[in-house]
A and B are shown apart, each in its own frame.
Chain A
């Protein structure tokens, strides 16, 4: 089955710096790659997603890149702010029809210091 690895497990940056979180997946048939942000004690919330027919997607300070050949995708956060501090999860989704099962990475705890 699909396996998703996520690095680093923790990431500390200064406010204003950029942060990059990387994920690799094993199943080349996976075609949907969402990123979720989870604040302490809260539910995961989607921040950005990308499909396999797209190489890059941006939404203000957040961008995601996908390299299908290498089977890895990355989350880029620019101009980080203290409110970006949270745990970020990547996931890979498999399936073209019906329910698309998501396999999640183990999470990256991002700490942005003022």
Chain B
């Protein structure tokens, strides 16, 4: 199993550009989520999904959209990138509530 995979590893955007961060898991996990990690602030939940077709907002959802058309994939879309979105983004998946969340390798995003 590849576990949780993310692409790209690195990305540089200009202010106002849009892009999609990809996340996939091959563990048949129902729950998937997106976090951002900023220096000194730990990880903060952006959006999450409890199954195909079901998504909800986390702690810091503004400026991001998600969709979950399949169990395996959970892309994160930045609609109009801003410098404040410069961060490391981690996707995670888990089998059920209150079980281990497996993290992907992360995407380092810089917005100029």
Contact = CB atoms under 8 A, between A and B. Distances in A.
A31 B41 CA distance: 22
A89 B41 CA distance: 10
A32 B98 contact: yes
Contacts, number: 58
Given A44-B90, A89-B43, A95-B97, A101 B103 contact: no
Contacts of A49: 100
Contacts of B44: 104
Given A99-B33, A99-B56, A106-B42, A46 B48 contact: no
B61 interface: no
B75 interface: no
A43 B106 contact: yes
Interface string A98-113: 1111111111000000
B43 A99 contact: no
A43 B91 CA distance: 10
B12 to A, nearest CB: 18
Interface string A1-31: 1001010000000000000000000000001
A89 B50 CA distance: 24
Interface of B: 31, 33, 40-45, 48-50, 56, 58-59, 90, 97-98, 100-101, 103-106
